[in-house]
Amino acid sequence: MTLALAACGDGKNAQPSATPAGVAKFTTIDFANVADYSAPTLPAYFDQTVKALDHSPASNAVNDRVATLGRVLFYDLRLSTNDKASCASCHRQALGFTDSMRFSNGISNAATTDFHAMRLGNLRYWQPGSTFWDRRAPSVEAQASIPLHSLVEMGWGGAAGGFDALTRKMGATTYYPDLFAWAFGSPIITEPRIQQALAQFVRAMVSSSSRWDTGYAQVFSPTAPDRALNLDLPNFTPQENRGRHLFMTGVGQGGAGCSSCHLPPTFALAANARSNGLDAGETRLFKAPSLRSVGLTGPYMHDGRFATLAEVVDFYDHGIQASAAIDNRLRQGRGPQRLNLSAADRAALVAFLMTLSDPVLTKDARFSDPFRR
């Protein structure tokens, strides 16, 4: 799937060019002022420890022009058969790139997806790189076009004609040939190029501007014990710091052990995590999205069974079920873990989770709708 990108330069230092009329008519994309996706400014604690978790392939390193094309693809309703659905229909920026519906509609209100839409912030830090709740796609690139093939989501499967029909539709627009030529050096529209652009755009969604970040930046030290994750944060309430302590501290040390699976500072899932014991006898290995902006909206879990974070915390406190797939960190003796936290401590955990909301990513123009509606 590797494509040569030399024709478009590095996306940052290439000579400015005028935006073609067809692109300017339908979008706000400015060829002479390319958004920065490839070199974002991140906090000091997003250092080599975090970079080691990044699954971005060398064959698809972020290029500003290609990621900009990905932004257009992500929001374009014309990529569905009836011009009614886009990636952003299920992954809404204001909600942390998830959906407030338990299951999402695609091209028709008569059908819904099988799983709840996952949040996308910090997706790049899930080390195995696989995607979907059940990990069935091996990479973000492989995942990117699966909704396009789906009869429920974007509709191009079966009698709709598949990717050949989609690329013909895209080629007939006044903007995609120019955008692909600008990003890749030629106007040819292919599934691998669509996959690359969407994957780059989604991987660029790095969340690092929550209230937790503001506080942690004040105490972080790379040489401190546990990188200072065990310290109270000066901008937190006592309840939020209690929740922070429970989240960051192991079960054997008086905490809830959440951070052993949901790794700060990205709060993405640990690479070796297994399933969380939602159902007795479960054999599937699920993955979870980063907990960044988890408080912006429910529902939660792969099937959206929990409406609130309080229900989620209650589940981890006393509702985990035994199964062959359960993660060892959620076991207690021969059975599932029972934390038996007080009501006050469970409320404190919810309060802490709310501090992970990122008001910057949810409004960042680089990840907003580029179309003139």
For the cut 70, the answer to whether the pLDDT of residue 78 exceeds it is yes
Distance separating alpha carbons of residues 51 and 291, to the nearest angstrom: 18
Distance separating alpha carbons of residues 94 and 92, to the nearest angstrom: 6
Domain limits at 287?
Answer: 211-354
Same domain flag for 167 and 58: yes
For the cut 50, the answer to whether the pLDDT of residue 208 exceeds it is yes
Q: Confidence band (pLDDT; 50, 70, 90) for 3? A: very low
Would you call 248 exposed, middle or buried from its count of C-beta atoms within 10 A (0-12, 13-18, 19+)? buried
Percent of the chain with pLDDT over 90: 94
Q: How many domains does the chain have?
A: 2
Q: For 136-191, what is each residue's pLDDT tens digit? A: 999 999 999 999 999 999 999 999 999 999 999 999 999 999 999 999 999 999 99
Q: Confidence band (pLDDT; 50, 70, 90) for 15? A: low
Same domain flag for 34 and 121: yes
Query: The tokens of 113 are what?
Result: 């997806």
Radius of gyration of the chain measured on its C-alpha atoms: 21
For the cut 90, the answer to whether the pLDDT of residue 7 exceeds it is no
DSSP β-ladder status, 331-332 and 268-269: unpaired
Residues 221-226: what's their mean pLDDT? 96
Asked if 93 contacts 367 with a C-beta cutoff of 8 angstroms, the reply is yes
pTM listed for this prediction = 0.94
- Asked if the structure places residue 4 within a domain, the reply is no
Asked if 145 contacts 194 with a C-beta cutoff of 8 angstroms, the reply is yes
| Residues in CB range of 132: below 8 A, 6 or more apart | 115, 118, 143, 287
User: Which residues, in sequence order, are bridge partners of residue 137?
Assistant: 131
For residue 212, the tally of other CB atoms under 10 A from its CB is 26
Same domain flag for 229 and 345: yes
User: Which residues, in sequence order, are bridge partners of residue 112?
Assistant: 105
Provide the CATH number for the domain around residue 127. 1.10.760.10
- Asked if the structure places residue 1 within a domain, the reply is no
Average pLDDT, the chain: 94
- Asked if the structure places residue 151 within a domain, the reply is yes
Q: Of 21, 3, 23, whose CA–CA distance to 63 is shortest?
A: 3
Same domain flag for 201 and 215: no
Provide the CATH number for the domain around residue 230. 1.10.760
Q: What is the pLDDT of residue 132?
A: 96
Q: Of 295, 312, 310, 301, whose CA–CA distance to 344 is shortest?
A: 310
Q: What is the pLDDT of residue 9?
A: 44
Same domain flag for 50 and 87: yes
Asked if 135 contacts 287 with a C-beta cutoff of 8 angstroms, the reply is yes
Q: For 80-95, what is each residue's pLDDT tens digit? A: 999 999 999 999 999 9
Query: The tokens of 145 are what?
Result: 């076009």
Q: Of 365, 326, 318, whose CA–CA distance to 342 is shortest?
A: 318
Same domain flag for 236 and 179: no
Q: From residue 215, give the alpha-carbon distance in Å to each of 77, 247, 346.
A: 39, 15, 22
- Asked if the structure places residue 3 within a domain, the reply is no
Asked if 220 contacts 45 with a C-beta cutoff of 8 angstroms, the reply is yes
Same domain flag for 75 and 181: yes
Same domain flag for 111 and 137: yes
User: Which residues, in sequence order, are bridge partners of residue 293?
Assistant: none
Q: For 311-368, what is each residue's pLDDT tens digit? A: 999 999 999 999 999 999 999 998 999 999 999 999 999 999 999 999 999 999 999 9
Helix (H) or strand (E) run with residue 268 in it: strand 268-269
Distance separating alpha carbons of residues 89 and 305, to the nearest angstrom: 21
For the cut 80, the answer to whether the pLDDT of residue 16 exceeds it is no
- Asked if the structure places residue 30 within a domain, the reply is yes
- Asked if the structure places residue 24 within a domain, the reply is yes
Q: Confidence band (pLDDT; 50, 70, 90) for 10? A: very low
Same domain flag for 192 and 338: no
Q: What is the pLDDT of residue 17?
A: 80
